C-alpha cells in the first residue's frame, strides 16, 4: 500500500480491532500526522503516516 492511497476521505480496515469492536476507519485529517475516526464509535486517533501505513490491512469500500 502506498501513502498516496491514504488520503482524506478514504475508508480503511486495520489489522487489529479497536476496543469497541470496529475495524473500519475514515481518514479525516492529513499533513504531518494523519487523523482517523472509528466508524463504529466515532473516536479519533492521530498517527504518523508511517504508523498508519503499518496498521492498515486494506482499503475498504467508500462509505455511502
Q: Is 10 exposed, middle or buried (0-12, 13-18, 19+ CB in 10 A)?
A: middle
Q: What is the pTM of this model?
A: 0.84
The fold adopted by the segment(s) 3-59 is: SH3 type barrels. (2.30.30)
What are the residue ranges spanned by the domains of the chain?
Answer: 3-59
Interval 7-36: pLDDT, tens: 889 999 999 999 999 999 999 988 889 999
Provide long-range contacts, Cβ within 8 A and 24+ apart, for 16-19. Answer: 16/55, 18/43
Confidence band (pLDDT; 50, 70, 90) for 64? very low
Amino acid at each position: 500500500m502506498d501513502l498516496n492511497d491514504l488520503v482524506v476521505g478514504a475508508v480503511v480496515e486495520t489489522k487489529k480491532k479497536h476496543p469497541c469492536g470496529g475495524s473500519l476507519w475514515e481518514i479525516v485529517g492529513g499533513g504531518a500526522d494523519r487523523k482517523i475516526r472509528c466508524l463504529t464509535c466515532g473516536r479519533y486517533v492521530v498517527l504518523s503516516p508511517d504508523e498508519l501505513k503499518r496498521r492498515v490491512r486494506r482499503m475498504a469500500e467508500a462509505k455511502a
